[in-house]
Each structure stands twice: as structure tokens, then as C-alpha cells.
Amino acid sequence: AQSVTQLGSHVSVSEGALVLLRCNYSSSVPPYLFWYVQYPNQGLQLLLKYTSAATLVKGINGFEAEFKKSETSFHLTKPSAHMSDAAEYFCAVSDQGDDKIIFGKGTRLHILP
């Protein structure tokens, strides 16, 4: 069964610094991969998704992620953090043709002024 591991339950970066949130997946075949963001007291919103069309995926709010098959990774990055990026981020995986999406445990991103 597929799974995702997010390294670091909390990450702190300074405003204007690079954001890097790590995600590794476990799957026997290249899966579909997603990053979601959750702001306080809200549901999850899709940031970006990988569906095998391109290894570098650009999402909303300046975020992007790169699929690396050799490393089974799908890390999320943003060149310059903004205070409004403070939220919890979830990596998720789904096998092609599967009805279900499996979520990681989340990484809470803190932005320091």
C-alpha cells in the first residue's frame, strides 16, 4: 500500500527566506501526488498536483514541487516566504485508478518576522 512521510512536523523560516517542506512517498509505481494547505479553522485546499505530465509542478501562491523518482520524493518549495504562508501543509498520494488519497501527517509552517 502506498504511503507518504513528511519530514518535520514543524518548520520555521524567516519572512523572505526559502521554504522547503519535505515529502517522500512509498509506491511500487509512480503515483499521483498532491500538496494541500490548511489555514486555521478551514478545510484543505489544493496547492498543486503531479500526474506524470511534468516533473516540476507549479501551483498557486508561488509554490512548486519537483517529482524525483530516484529519490521517491515530492518536496514543496517557495523562493520567498510570506507571512500569509503560515499554515499546515499536507502531502498526499494516490495510486492511478484508486478512489482514495492517503495523506501525510502534515507539516506546520511558521513564518518569523
Partner 1 sequence: NAGVTQTPKFQVLKTGQSMTLQCAQDMNHNSMYWYRQDPGMGLRLIYYSASEGTTDKGEVPNGYNVSRLNKREFSLRLESAAPSQTSVYFCASSDLTRTVQPQHFGDGTRLSIL
Which residues contact partner 1 (rule: CB under 8 A)?
9, 32, 34, 36, 41-46, 49, 51, 90, 94, 99-106
Residues whose CB is less than 8 angstroms from the CB of residue 91 and which lie 6 or more positions away in sequence, other chains included: 4, 6, 21, 23, 25, 33, 34, 35, 74, 76, 103, 104
Q: Which is nearer to partner 1, 102 or 109 (CB)?
A: 102
Q: Which is nearer to partner 1, 66 or 103 (CB)?
A: 103
Q: Which is nearer to partner 1, 13 or 47 (CB)?
A: 47
CB of 100 to partner 1, least distance (A): 6
CB of 113 to partner 1, least distance (A): 25
Distance from C-alpha of 103 to C-alpha of 17, rounded to nearest angstrom: 27
CB of 9 to partner 1, least distance (A): 7
Measured in whole angstroms, how far is the alpha carbon of residue 11 from the centre of its chain? 13
Q: Which is nearer to partner 1, 15 or 110 (CB)?
A: 110
Residues whose CB is less than 8 angstroms from the CB of residue 40 and which lie 6 or more positions away in sequence, other chains included: 87
